[in-house]
Amino acid sequence: MINATWLETFTVLCETGHFTRTAEHLGMTQPGVSQHVRKLEEQLGQALISRHGKSFALTAAGEDIWALGRARRLEERDLLEKIREDSPDVGAISVACSGSFAMLLYPRVMDLMIASPLLQIRMEATPQSAILQGIATRRFDLGVVDRKPEHPRLHAERIGAEDLCLVLPADADAGQPDFEDLEARGFIAHPDGFGYADELFALNYPEAFRGSDDLQVRGFVNQISQIPAPVSRGIGYTLLPRSGVEAFPQRDRLCIAPLRETRRHELWLASERGRPMPARMSRVSALIAEVARDLEGDPLRSGSPA
């Protein structure tokens, strides 16, 4: 690595064109300036100046090193200005959450990026365990999870909750459907769907439900955005968090069935414990919390369209 002190001395020398003025500018002696230049030449193995009495000329290598010195000054200036400004509209941030929450959040994120062209937001839909590990290793700045993390290096605050929904076509009869009706329709399954079935059906159909592995499966989809699509066309039923339903483009073709017993998944916003939060992170955190509050503040209504 090029010694930064020697490089700065050489850069000032090139700007002043004079050893004495360089020494005065840097608060050094003239022999000290000469020593810095000599040490820099020794480190590089190249002559940087050609002396002519009390004046000097730059060699080709000297021209290149002077250009480097100027470039480093500009980089340092830009960095210092960025640190001092801490603008909510500038910089990069990474967010991780479930696929369903990402579908609901990302349109709002895009609005934010349109309003702030220098704001860079990377979103990733990933499992809960990967979210927590990613925050602990600084792969992610923020993460939305469904329970308070116990990891000692993580901090989390509850930002809301969302219902687990039984989703039917919009023309389904009002009222809680019979389990036999659901079996006749068939389950549009997905990777998380079987766990949702064990969680929700055991509460509402304790006599008829025998476990998710016995469900009549009509189809399987592993793309979160496509899970409600067959249901919207009258094919089967599915189970999704409210965010996955609300984010579906044709949500008017879906109906959330009323259930005697509901389940809500809490939403927690996780970040690294003790890490100072820059303005851009605070701004995105506020947006995430707002989306979560909207989910929690919109309770299920009997037979409500999604």
Second CATH level (architecture) for the domain 92-159+268-296: 3-Layer(aba) Sandwich (3.40)
Spell out the domain ranges in the chain: 4-85, 92-159+268-296, 162-264
Closest CA to 266 of 299, 292, 239, 298: 292
Strand residue runs (E) in 14-139:
49-52, 55-58, 91-97, 119-125
Give the per-residue pLDDT at 287: 96
- How much is the pLDDT for 302? 37
pLDDT value at position 1?
82
Q: What is the pLDDT of residue 301?
A: 41
- Quote the pLDDT of residue 299: 47
**CATH number belonging to domain 4-85:** 1.10.10.10
Q: Fold match between 92-159+268-296 and 162-264?
A: yes
Q: Do 304 and 255 touch, CB atoms closer than 8 A?
A: yes
pLDDT tens for the chain, 306 residues long, are 889 999 999 999 999 999 999 999 999 999 999 999 999 999 999 999 998 877 899 999 999 999 999 999 989 888 877 666 788 998 899 999 999 999 999 999 999 999 999 999 999 998 888 999 999 999 999 999 999 998 889 999 999 999 999 999 999 988 899 999 999 999 999 999 999 999 999 999 999 999 999 999 999 999 888 999 999 999 999 999 999 999 999 999 999 999 999 999 999 999 999 988 899 999 999 999 999 998 886 544 434 444
What pLDDT, on the 0 to 100 scale, is given for residue 304? Answer: 44
Give the per-residue pLDDT at 87. Answer: 85
Cα separation, 228 vs 244, whole angstroms? 8
Q: Where are the alpha helices (DSSP H) in 119-192?
A: 128-136, 179-185
Return d(Cα 257, Cα 168) in angstroms, integer.
7
* pLDDT, position 6: 95
CA distance 58 to 62: 5
**pLDDT score of 297:** 67
What CATH class is the domain 162-264? alpha beta
Query: How many other β-carbons are positioned within 10 Å of the β-carbon of residue 57?
Result: 11
pTM of the model: 0.68
CA–centroid distance for 162 within its chain? 20
Amino acid type, 250: Q
Strands 142-145 and 264-272: antiparallel
